[in-house]
């Protein structure tokens, strides 16, 4: 990592001065450290044996394979970095920015096109709508995360407030619908806006006391808040059903028409043959519309004075205050708006699953959503969408690839490695491309001279 802290010029000079032996020595050092880190946590696996106590088995083969992999990776990385720094020195950095946003501009309509026609594509690809079910389910899952990512993007990407308890608002939305529908028998379409409002209210409630805190303290307090919500949901059994959760939540209806085979059902009313897939396709378009609304609101907000104030706040809070921007109101609106979208997504989650439990709203979920926002390049809409597709859809696709099983053995499950890779990707992102993978986060307005 030495090259990360030195200037490109110094790195170039060093790469030229010490070619191969230096690189091998450096990579060897990395492999050696890896070896040290793997002892004993990788080299000896503990398992519960037949009797009492643990049984240990040694796995030095894995350790040496890991060390060799690190050696090769580091070697290639240094080779590449040496070349890249030399190329960089000859090129203005602004060109990179333009190239990146052009990529975003190409990807956006393609992604949207695929998203709009996914049920059709799935039906055509798999033969019938029923057989395309897997793809539509996956699409719903990805879009839920896209929506959550866009919602959190308002808070983290635009306003620059690191929120580690975002999943709390998601939980508030889910439980609002679950409770309102099971206890009071309210319909989904009444509960959806209410869930958003409840979540927004929670956002304001949390926001008021904590928003004067500095960045990382704010992050920790939001984390604590998210955990408190989860612990209360687990322990307050009378209210939330405890860790068993709430089940048999009413299903979604087509604006009042239920998706049933009966006379008054959706299919009969429109003269279609009954197909259980109708509900799924409807759910797919519902989350797509919700996500697109989130996106649209965000894009419009960025043009309003309030949205500009968010971005200004992200860049420099003290300057903002000096210019007379009310930082409390500005932060609070970002918080409330982000929370509201999480509330919508939450009630969608509840209506899709027909079951909610505190399990679904742990810190890891917050971390995944945050990872999506970070990897998408905080503030970039298309970046967040692509990151959600890659991070949620990617492991699902990997699971079905047969050759991975052939390489790593029959018991290989890529989902096990999903979060491990999430973590690594977050670190790598901060180290190598802190401004985002797909797109750069650029201010909505810039003074003309700065763009040159």
Stretch touching other proteins by CB under 8 A, among 136-144, 293-301, 394-402, 416-424: 416-424
Q: Judged by CB under 8 A, which of 44, 64, 355, 412 binds other proteins?
A: 44
Q: Which is nearer to other proteins, 253 or 366 (CB)?
A: 366
272 counts as binding other proteins under rule CB under 8 A? no
Q: Which residues ranging from 206 to 245 are in contact with other proteins (CB under 8 A)?
A: 209-210, 213-217, 219-221, 223-225, 227-228, 231-232, 234-235
40 counts as binding other proteins under rule CB under 8 A? yes
Do the beta carbons of residue 341 and residue 154 sit within 8 Å? yes
37 counts as binding other proteins under rule CB under 8 A? yes
Q: Which is nearer to other proteins, 9 or 364 (CB)?
A: 364
Q: Judged by CB under 8 A, which of 160, 241, 245, 346 binds other proteins?
A: 160
Q: Which residue do the tokens 């999903």 mark?
A: 418
Distance CA 35, CA 48 (A): 25
| Phi, psi (rounded to 5 degrees) for 201 | -60, -40
- Least separation in angstroms between CB 400 and other proteins: 20
Count, residues near other proteins per rule CB under 8 A: 62
Distance CA 329, CA 340 (A): 16
- Least separation in angstroms between CB 53 and other proteins: 6
Q: Judged by CB under 8 A, which of 274, 285, 412, 417 binds other proteins?
A: 417
Stretch touching other proteins by CB under 8 A, among 99-107, 256-264, 276-284, 424-432: 424-432
| Phi, psi (rounded to 5 degrees) for 311 | -65, -35
- Least separation in angstroms between CB 364 and other proteins: 7
Q: Judged by CB under 8 A, which of 8, 24, 28, 42 binds other proteins?
A: 42
Instruction: Report the Cα 131 to chain-centroid distance in Å.
Output: 28
Residues 6+ apart with CB under 8 A from 24: 75
134 counts as binding other proteins under rule CB under 8 A? no
Do the beta carbons of residue 176 and residue 356 sit within 8 Å? no
Distance CA 378, CA 400 (A): 31
398 counts as binding other proteins under rule CB under 8 A? no
- Least separation in angstroms between CB 194 and other proteins: 26
Distance CA 303, CA 305 (A): 7
370-404 burial string, b = 16+ CB within 10 Å, else e? Answer: bbbbbbbbbbbbbbbbbbbbbbbeebbebeeeeee
In the numeric block, which tokens belong to residue 202?
């929670």
Do the beta carbons of residue 150 and residue 168 sit within 8 Å? no
Q: Which is nearer to other proteins, 17 or 318 (CB)?
A: 318
Q: Sign of dihedral through CA atoms 266, 269, 274, 275?
A: negative
13 counts as binding other proteins under rule CB under 8 A? no
Q: Which is nearer to other proteins, 300 or 321 (CB)?
A: 321
318 counts as binding other proteins under rule CB under 8 A? yes
Which helix (H) or strand (E) covers residue 56, if one does? strand 54-58
DSSP for residue 246 = B
Q: Which is nearer to other proteins, 235 or 269 (CB)?
A: 235
374 counts as binding other proteins under rule CB under 8 A? yes
72 counts as binding other proteins under rule CB under 8 A? no
- Least separation in angstroms between CB 4 and other proteins: 3
Q: Which is nearer to other proteins, 278 or 418 (CB)?
A: 418
Stretch touching other proteins by CB under 8 A, among 1-9, 178-186, 189-197, 250-258: 1-9
84 counts as binding other proteins under rule CB under 8 A? no
- Least separation in angstroms between CB 411 and other proteins: 12
The string of DSSP letters for 396-433 reads HHHHT-HHHHHHH-TT--HHHHHHHHHHHHHHHHHHH-
Residue 419, by phi and psi: left (phi above 0), alpha (psi -120 to 50) or beta?
alpha
Q: Environment class of residue 270 by beta-carbon count within 10 Å: exposed (0-12), middle (13-18) or buried (19+)?
A: exposed
Do the beta carbons of residue 152 and residue 163 sit within 8 Å? yes
- Least separation in angstroms between CB 238 and other proteins: 13
46 counts as binding other proteins under rule CB under 8 A? yes
Q: Judged by CB under 8 A, which of 426, 442, 443, 444 binds other proteins?
A: 426
State the CB neighbour count (10 A cutoff) for residue 369. 28
Name the residues that contact other proteins, by CB under 8 A.
1, 4-5, 33, 36-37, 39-42, 44-48, 52-54, 56, 160, 162, 164, 209-210, 213-217, 219-221, 223-225, 227-228, 231-232, 234-235, 318, 363-364, 367, 370-371, 374, 416-417, 419-420, 422-427, 429-431, 434
């Amino acid at each position: 990592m030495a090259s990360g802290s030195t200037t490109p010029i110094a790195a170039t000079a060093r790469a030229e001065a010490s070619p191969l032996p230096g690189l091998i020595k450096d990579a060897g050092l990395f492999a050696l450290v890896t070896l040290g880190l793997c002892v004993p946590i990788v080299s000896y696996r503990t398992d519960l044996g037949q009797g009492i106590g643990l049984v240990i088995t040694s796995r030095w083969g894995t350790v040496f394979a890991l060390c060799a992999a690190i050696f090769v990776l580091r070697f290639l990385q240094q080779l590449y970095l040496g070349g890249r720094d030399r190329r960089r020195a000859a090129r203005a950095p602004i060109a990179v920015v333009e190239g990146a946003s052009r990529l975003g501009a190409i990807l956006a309509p393609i992604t949207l096109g695929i998203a709009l026609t996914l049920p059709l594509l799935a039906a055509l690809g798999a033969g019938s709508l029923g057989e395309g079910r897997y793809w539509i389910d996956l699409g719903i899952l990805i879009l839920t995360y896209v929506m959550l990512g866009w919602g959190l993007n308002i808070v983290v990407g635009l306003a620059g407030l690191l929120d580690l308890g975002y999943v709390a608002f998601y939980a508030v939305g889910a439980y609002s619908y679950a409770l309102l529908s099971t206890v009071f028998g309210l319909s989904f379409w009444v509960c959806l806006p209410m869930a958003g409002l409840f979540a927004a209210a929670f956002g304001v409630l949390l926001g008021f006391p904590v928003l004067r805190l500095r960045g990382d303290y704010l992050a920790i307090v939001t984390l604590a808040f998210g955990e408190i919500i989860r612990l209360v949901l687990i322990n307050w059994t009378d209210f939330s059903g405890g860790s068993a959760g709430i089940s048999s939540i009413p299903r979604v209806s087509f604006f009042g028409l239920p998706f049933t085979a009966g006379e008054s059902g959706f299919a009969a009313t429109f003269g279609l043959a009954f197909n259980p897939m109708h509900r799924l396709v409807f759910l797919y378009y519902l989350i797509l519309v919700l996500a697109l609304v989130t996106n649209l609101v965000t894009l419009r907000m960025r043009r309003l004075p309030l949205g500009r104030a968010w971005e200004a706040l992200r860049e420099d809070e003290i300057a903002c205050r000096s210019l007379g921007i009310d930082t409390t109101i500005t932060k609070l609106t970002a918080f409330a708006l982000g929370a509201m979208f999480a509330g919508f997504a939450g009630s969608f989650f509840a209506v899709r699953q027909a079951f909610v439990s505190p399990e679904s709203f742990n810190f890891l979920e917050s971390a995944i959503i945050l990872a999506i926002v970070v990897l998408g390049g905080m503030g970039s809409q298309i970046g967040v969408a692509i990151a959600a597709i890659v991070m949620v859809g990617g492991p699902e696709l990997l699971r079905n690839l047969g050759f991975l099983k052939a390489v790593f053995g029959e018991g290989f499950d890529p989902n096990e490695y999903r979060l491990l890779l999430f973590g690594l990707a977050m670190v790598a992102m901060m180290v190598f491309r802190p401004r985002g993978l797909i797109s750069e986060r650029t201010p909505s307005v810039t003074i003309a001279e700065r763009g040159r």
